[in-house]
Structure 1
Amino acid sequence: MSDCHTVRLGMHVYGCNHCHHQHYQFHSCGNRHCPNCGGLKREQWLQDRMSELLPTAYFHIVFTIPQQLRSLAMGNRKAVFKLLFEAGTYTLKTLGKDEKYLGGIPGIISVLHTNGQDLTFHPHVHCIVTGGGLSKEGKWITQKREKGNFLFPRRAMEKIFKGYFLAQLKALKTSENLKINNEKEFDKTIDEVQFIKWNVYAKAPFAGPEQIVEYLGRYTHKVAISTYRITKISDTEITFKYKDYRDKNQQKLITLSHAEFLRRFEQHILPKGFVKIRHSGFLSHQNKTKQNGWKVFVHN
């Protein structure tokens, strides 16, 4: 990434036959964690998602693990990130099957974020969820509320998400698929988090589904920070903008040493081959390829 857009990765030279002006275009690294790369892939992802939008309400749901579990997630990134996806999907599909709320399977697009605005480690999954869904027979079920201002009870989502996550986390420990330095500390942490409130953010997009797709598109093919947020780089420090959600979303500046900036950035480099964007429910890749899948419904 340090060689991105430099001569070390090579370049193309464009020249004008009339004025003989030359322009040097340095090659990009293509790394999915690079703040400079991913623009074309992002635009393609946005176009693909916009083309899949259906005439139904969409909701923005965010599943977050408690702060007490972040150190465990840091040491078991692949296992805990995978479980975070699974717990969120399980929660949405479980409530979707309930006749009170939908009575079918919704479409879900999940995107993993690991950072807060100040680059601290803060794993959470953003989900775009359809208000309508598909029945077992593959028939479309219209959203229950015409105004599209409610999907599932927030407290119910929090309870199911917490219960599933902790049950599976304990199963991973039993099967020795978790790296644990101190078993007593692990048990103490589990006892602590099972009696606290887990945060699940739930809201319908204010300006329609396009808004949340555009919002998530900023993070689908980049990690942690974009270059436009960096305001100053000195020989010893880096200053960048961040939004302080605890202080009425005010825009602030934070200055870190080079070493601290790199330490925080490194926390968000994903395990090799780990997929950070996943589709589930009737939007899963398996359902898309079925003959009676949702694409047939759209065209009919």
Structure 2
Amino acid sequence: MKKGKMRLILEDHWASFMSKYDKKIRQNVKAEVDKVLRCKDTRYGYIELKCEKCNEIKKIGFTCKSRFCTSCGKIYVDKWIESMLSKLINVRHRHIVFTIPKELRVYFGKDRSKLKLLPQSAAKAVTSWMKSLNKSEEFIPGIVTVIHTFGRDLKWNPHVHMMITEGGSGKNTEWRHIKHISYIALRKRWQKILLDNINDIVKNKYEAKCLKDKLYRDKDKGFYVHAKTQIKSAKIAAKYIGRYVGRPAIAESRIIKYDGKIVTYKYTRHEDNKVVVETVEAHEFLKKVIIHIPEKHFKMIRYFGIY
């Protein structure tokens, strides 16, 4: 069995990483890494195939089915895309990314359960805007959201990828196509809805008030909302958003080199599309990667509106 670089890094350094940082590592992280280390290892179970002609026997180890696994994560995504094809309406969709300021990010890291506020707030921003277009109809779109906690540089950067129908179903109209989506309006709504929940995000009331005032003052145009691609069909939409579902923080292809101690990886910087190469010690690399393993049973994918 050919092993990927991520698997080799874990095999070489996870034990020493655990002995050094054991008390700081979340239990779910330990469980997910353990799954990956056992993936396809016949010592932990296998199926046996026998050729009827030559009697040759081949053992195939069970997969771990962890989304942290670069191999099993892809299988999960393929199955998810297949299931979504029967759910999505065959209309145009839009990919939108909702981001939050740096000042807010740390609080979602302290209490990961609060990450659910991000897709909830993003969906509310869009649905409230769409309903306001025609108050007698109150058009409702179909929305699929995926939470990502990592940026391209692997830093903690929670944000929401949204796939939304270009249009919605009204009280009296079966379907209304809505081509223009006002991102100026969405930015303001996204900001207000999140900051209305600031006391749930920041526990200290004085700290919450100061931060809220600062973010309204510094972000007078609202929080950044990036409109990405228009997608013509449900099939393309499922495959497109599927790229963000169960995606590991770093793909094998981005790990350029691993010499047993040092890891070299690359990413394309968002600001200028420049390829950046970073070289870090293996333990430091593991720190960057495992913070993005979600809590057990936490739903990274959520559905709103008519979906």
Structure 1 window deviating more from structure 2 (208-217 vs 122-131): it is 208-217
**d(CA) in 2 for partners of 1:216, 1:15:** 39
**d(CA) in 2 for partners of 1:275, 1:33:** 15
**d(CA) in 1 for partners of 2:245, 2:44:** 24
> How much identity, in percent, do the aligned residues show?
29
Aligned-pair CA distance for 1:47: 1.7
Out of 115, 122, 128, which is 2:163 matched to? 128
Matches within 5 A, 1:35-184: 35-79=70-114, 81-99=115-133, 103-136=138-171, 139-144=173-178, 148=179, 150=180, 152-170=181-199, 172=200
1:105-129: CA deviations, max 9, x gaps?
A: 1110111111112211111111111
Amino acid at match of 2:97: V
Q: Is the 8 Å Cα contact of residues 241 and 252 (structure 1) preserved in structure 2?
A: yes
Structure 1 window deviating more from structure 2 (61-70 vs 205-214): it is 205-214
User: Secondary structure of the equivalent of 1:245?
Assistant: coil
Give yes or no for the alignment of 1:280 onto 2:280.
no
Aligned-pair CA distance for 1:210: 4.3
Instruction: Name the structure 1 match of 2:290.
Output: 266
Instruction: Name the structure 2 match of 1:288.
Output: none
**d(CA) in 1 for partners of 2:117, 2:87:** 26
Matches within 5 A, 1:164-243: 164-170=193-199, 172=200, 185-195=207-217, 196=219, 197-205=222-230, 210-243=235-268
**d(CA) in 1 for partners of 2:125, 2:297:** 25
**d(CA) in 1 for partners of 2:46, 2:263:** 28
Aligned-pair CA distance for 1:82: 1.1
**d(CA) in 1 for partners of 2:250, 2:275:** 15
Q: 1:5 to 1:238 in 2, by over 3 A?
A: farther
Q: Is the 8 Å Cα contact of residues 96 and 162 (structure 2) preserved in structure 1?
A: yes
Q: Is the 8 Å Cα contact of residues 138 and 171 (structure 2) preserved in structure 1?
A: no
1:74-123: CA deviations, max 9, x gaps?
A: 101111x1111111011011011123698411110111111112211111
Q: Is the 8 Å Cα contact of residues 103 and 141 (structure 1) preserved in structure 2?
A: no
Q: Is the 8 Å Cα contact of residues 90 and 233 (structure 2) preserved in structure 1?
A: no
Structure 1 window deviating more from structure 2 (99-108 vs 60-69): it is 99-108
Q: 1:3 to 1:238 in 2, by over 3 A?
A: farther
**d(CA) in 2 for partners of 1:231, 1:26:** 27
Choose between structure 1 and 2: higher helix proportion. Answer: 2
- What's the TM-score once normalised by structure 1's chain length? 0.79
**d(CA) in 2 for partners of 1:47, 1:25:** 25
Identify unmatched segments of 5+ residues in structure 1. Answer: 284-300
User: Secondary structure of the equivalent of 1:70?
Assistant: helix
Structure 1 window deviating more from structure 2 (185-194 vs 262-271): it is 185-194
Q: CA RMSD in A?
A: 2.5
User: Secondary structure of the equivalent of 2:263?
Assistant: strand
Q: 1:125 to 1:187 in 2, by over 3 A?
A: same
**d(CA) in 1 for partners of 2:275, 2:49:** 40
Structure 1 window deviating more from structure 2 (91-100 vs 208-217): it is 208-217
**d(CA) in 1 for partners of 2:63, 2:277:** 28
- What's the TM-score once normalised by structure 2's chain length? 0.78
Q: Is the 8 Å Cα contact of residues 57 and 130 (structure 1) preserved in structure 2?
A: yes
Q: Is the 8 Å Cα contact of residues 132 and 140 (structure 1) preserved in structure 2?
A: no
Q: Is the 8 Å Cα contact of residues 118 and 254 (structure 1) preserved in structure 2?
A: no
Identify unmatched segments of 5+ residues in structure 2. Answer: 1-35
